Amino acid sequence: MLFLYRLKSVNKFMEFSAKQIAELLNGEIIGNDKILVSDISKIEDGKSGTISFLANPKYEKFIYTTNASIVLVNKTFVPSKPILSTLIKVDNAYNSIATLLGFYDSLIKNKEGVSSLSFVSKSTDISQISYLGEFAFIGENVKIGKGVKIYPQVYVGDNVKIGENTTLYPGVKIYFGCEIGNNCVLNSGTIIGADGFGFAPQEETADYKKIPQVGNVVIEDNVDIGANSAIDRATMGSTIIHKGVKIDNFVQIAHNVEIGSNTVIAAHSGVSGSTKIGKNCMVAGQVGFAGHLTIGNNVKIAAQSGIGCNLSNNAVVQGSPAFHYRDYQKSSIYFRRLPDTNKRIETLEKEILELKTIISTIKN
């Protein structure tokens, strides 16, 4: 398509017409089909020469004041005032802008070639690799699939397997024997396969003896892992991240953990050893899991919750220790009133003491 050619022909910014965008997104143009844009903006501070979108009715007021040249809107949108921007009506504005962002993202990350400053062991074949950056290290007997991109200063240990079209951003470290699937993204600073936290207390010397961690980490297809997250290798067997899992920045996954497909985990959460989390779960930020738990499918856990027991399918919990979110929200009303309630109790105790004194005086 002309639109795709246009994307590939520019160095840094996109530049395309409303007509080209409408063709790509199967949209309907309301306005000037020849107007060009070269960047993307939020609707509330849109500038001339940019494309924006309106998906949430909460932001409708901005469509009447935005300077964005093109705005994507849902086909159901009916304006209540005149609009200066060219509109492109699509089935789903949010999905459509995601498609455009995907093209933009692929453009700016279109790295190719193998740097002479990288190191590749002789027993590893990199003939299918798409990009290998400066000071990357590839160990012995590594299997690398077609289209893989490995950015500078990545370490890939011996006997690692990396599937097709996976991207390892700068500073990723993958220890020996781990397996990464197809279409995965590991962001900068991610560490896969560091030793699990296993130490045996010694009664005689009151110190700890390290337990060797001889397992590995298996990451299936279409997994995204945020920056500076760590997934520890199993003591024995595998720590397993199933297909479609999305893990945010600064998340700790301990040894022998298993995370079900399409589960999402937000930043600063931690999962202790041997806990199993089901499919399609949603874990908000700063959630902590105790070890050896079983979390069912479709579970939702609110931010800063502490999970100390098993959770059944479809559970929705909040708090530390966590319990049903509606009960937690009701209880939070009382939490907030505790200082006032305490004052009232102290006042009542004082009044009761005074009454006892009066009664005692009357009796005497």
- Measured CA to CA, the distance from residue 264 to residue 301 in angstroms comes to 11
- Interval 57-74 mean pLDDT: 95
Please tell me which residue, 222 or 336, carries the higher pLDDT value: 222
CATH code where residue 76 lies: 3.40.1390.10
Residue 161 pLDDT class (50, 70, 90 cuts): very high
The pLDDT assigned to 14 comes to 59
Whether pLDDT at 315 is above 50: yes
- Whole-model pTM over 0.85: no
Considering only residues 326 and 137, tell me which one the structure prediction assigns the higher pLDDT.
137
Higher pLDDT, 37 or 334: 37
Q: Is the pLDDT at 279 greater than 80, yes or no?
A: yes
Residue 8: is its pLDDT beyond 60? no
Task: Output the CA torsion sign for 333, 339, 343, 346.
Answer: positive
The pLDDT value recorded for residue 3 is 38
Q: Which domain holds residue 99?
A: 2-108
- Does 176 fall in a domain? no
The answer to whether the beta carbons of residues 253 and 269 sit under 8 Å apart is no
The phi and psi torsions of 335 (rounded to 5 degrees) equal -55, -45
- Would you say residue 84 lies in a domain? yes
Q: What is the mean pLDDT of residues 121-134?
A: 96
**Predicted pLDDT of residue 6:** 38
Catalytic residues: 255
pLDDT at 5 over 60: no
Answer yes or no: is 156 within a domain.
no
d(CA 322, CA 334): 16
Q: Give the total number of structural domains in the chain.
A: 1
pLDDT score at 16: 86
Residue 101 lies in a domain: yes
Confirm whether 92 is domain-assigned.
yes
In a domain, 93, yes or no: yes
CB 186 within 8 A of CB 169: yes
Q: What is the pLDDT of residues 41-55, one digit of tens each?
A: 999 999 999 999 999
For residue 131, being part of any structural domain is answered with no
What does DSSP say about strands 199-201 and 208-210: parallel, antiparallel, or unpaired? antiparallel
- What's the whole-number mean pLDDT along residues 29-36? 95
In the numeric block, the tokens 């590893």 are attached to: 124
pLDDT of residue 163: 98
- Flag whether 47 is in a domain: yes
Residue with tokens 């899991």: 289
The pLDDT value recorded for residue 2 is 35
Whether 264 has a pLDDT exceeding 70, the answer reads yes
Consecutive H or E run containing 52? strand 50-54
Segment 290-313 shows an average pLDDT of 97
Give the pLDDT confidence of 84-94 residue by residue, as tens digits.
999 999 999 99
Share of the chain above pLDDT 90, in %: 77
